[in-house]
């Protein structure tokens, strides 16, 4: 009998999603925009503490529009966290900008404020920074925000993986001039695919909606004075998001339980560490990860292959952007004796973190990993 498939992280549906989707069908609101879209925008903004939001086709689209709103032009320097998924950085290249990558610090795996300061010393002309809350763990957001303010730089907070997480009591996604959320299929809540651009001020969000609907001017005929994009979310998938949002806190709690279960199980194995976070933060624990000391005989690939053999999904840590062939010409700034992002990539692995995992599933995963030691 084939082993049950255990996923890294996949959608968990409830009943409310279908109610909103059925309402969209019943009222024939199946095209882009509609009541679910407007409501989802308002509900996300309310959840994170006020402000305004624009529902879009993806988190990548949200970053693209944030960069446009920030005034990024061809050949501009954009600082971006190296340890992230390529969607954080690709939109800067869409605009012809030049990414400069910033190393991580050990306490969060996120952008190192010391490296960011060093980057501004080398590139004082930079006016846009993209920081990430990796795997749902908040970065040192107040320090990064302060450095950006000191240099007159716009901060784009990539909170694609951290919806529901908090830093010093405030929701992630609200510390930057612009915040980015993602509702991709593996995120803590999903719309199957989609994203959100968030801002405290209404005017930039209104501008983003205009750009996301092909920059069509309010004329009877089709009038365009700017280049626009087809980035708006559909009323159907927004209905899924509204139903999912009702369960976000529940999802965060279950993700936390998974992280704590792994932490307790591996506490007695010297050289094995969970992905770290600051005491002043409350991660959403989207993915639970471990790193292995380089002195250990067991390597990340051994864990991945052992679990794969049992039909259990894992993933390597994101390969840093400065190591990607497509970005080989880009500069990389580090403030430490070694490159932290490379070290995390070399020694880390993402463990199954699906909230539908049963106790039996978790016991099986943990037993396989511990058996390697």
Sequence spans of domains, the chain:
1-373
Q: What pLDDT, on a 0 to 100 scale, did the predictor assign at position 346?
A: 98
Q: What is the CA radius of gyration of the chain?
A: 21
CA 107 to chain centre: 18
What is the distance between the alpha carbons of residues 42 and 226, in angstroms, rounded to a whole number?
27
Q: Say how far apart CA 348 and CA 318 lie, in whole Å.
A: 9
What confidence category does residue 368 fall into, taking pLDDT thresholds of 50, 70 and 90? very high
* Residue of 323, 312, 324, 321 lying closest to 349 (CA atoms): 312
Question: Nearest CA to 363 among 254, 258, 273?
Answer: 258
pLDDT, tens digit (0-9, with 9 covering 90-100), for 104-140? 999 999 999 999 999 999 999 999 999 999 999 999 9
Q: State the CB neighbour count (10 A cutoff) for residue 302.
A: 16
Contacts of 49 (CB under 8 A, 6+ apart): 170, 171, 174
Give the helix ranges, DSSP H, for 8-128.
16-26, 35-48, 59-69, 90-94, 113-122
Identify which of 101, 81, 99, 83 has the alpha carbon closest to the alpha carbon of residue 91: 99
Tens of pLDDT, residues 208-264 = 999 999 999 999 999 999 999 999 999 999 999 999 999 999 999 999 999 999 999
* pLDDT attached to residue 229: 98
What is the rounded CA–CA span in Å between residue 254 and residue 198? 26
Convert the pLDDT of each residue in 59-100 to its tens digit. Answer: 999 999 999 999 999 999 999 999 999 999 999 999 999 999
- Residues 283/276, Cβ–Cβ less than 8 Å: no
Q: Is the pLDDT of residue 205 over 80?
A: yes
In this prediction, residue 1 carries a pLDDT of: 52
Q: Which residues of 314-326 are buried (b: 16+ CB within 10 A; e: fewer)?
A: bbebbbbbbbeee
- pLDDT score for 32: 80
CATH of segment(s) 1-373: 3.40.640.10
């Amino acid at each position: 009998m084939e082993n049950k498939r255990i996923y890294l992280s996949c959608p968990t549906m409830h009943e409310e999603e279908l109610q909103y989707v059925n309402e969209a069908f019943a009222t024939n609101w199946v095209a882009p925009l509609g009541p679910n879209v407007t409501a989802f925008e308002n509900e996300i903004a309310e959840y994170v503490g006020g402000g305004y939001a624009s529902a879009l086709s993806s988190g990548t689209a949200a970053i693209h529009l944030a960069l446009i709103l920030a005034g990024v032009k061809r050949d501009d320097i954009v600082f971006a966290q190296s340890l992230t998924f390529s969607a954080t950085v690709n939109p800067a290249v869409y605009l012809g900008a030049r990414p400069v990558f910033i190393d991580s610090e050990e306490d969060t795996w996120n952008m190192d404020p010391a490296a960011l300061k060093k980057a501004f010393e080398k590139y004082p002309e930079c006016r846009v920074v993209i920081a990430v809350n990796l795997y749902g763990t908040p970065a040192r957001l107040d320090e990064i925000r302060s450095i950006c303010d000191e240099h007159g730089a716009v901060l784009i907070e990539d909170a694609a993986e951290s919806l529901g997480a908090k830093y010093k009591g405030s929701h992630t996604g609200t510390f930057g001039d612009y915040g980015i959320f993602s509702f991709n299929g593996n995120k803590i809540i999903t719309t199957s695919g989609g994203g959100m651009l968030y801002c405290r001020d209404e005017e930039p969000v209104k501008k983003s909606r205009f750009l996301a609907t092909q920059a069509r001017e309010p004329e009877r005929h089709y009038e365009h004075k700017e280049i626009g994009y087809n980035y708006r979310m559909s009323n159907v998938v927004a209905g899924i998001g509204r139903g999912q949002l009702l369960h976000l806190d529940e999802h965060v709690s279950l993700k936390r339980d998974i992280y704590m279960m792994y932490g307790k199980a591996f506490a007695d194995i010297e050289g094995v560490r969970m992905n770290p976070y600051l005491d002043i933060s409350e991660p959403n624990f989207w993915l639970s990860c471990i790193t292995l000391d380089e002195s250990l005989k067991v390597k990340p690939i051994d864990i991945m292959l052992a679990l794969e053999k049992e039909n259990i999904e894992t993933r390597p840590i994101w390969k840093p952007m400065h190591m990607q062939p497509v970005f080989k010409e880009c500069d990389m700034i580090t403030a430490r004796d070694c490159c932290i992002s490379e070290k995390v990539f070399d020694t880390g692995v993402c463990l199954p973190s699906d909230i539908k995992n049963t106790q039996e599933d978790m016991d099986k995963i943990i037993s396989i990993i511990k058996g390697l030691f």
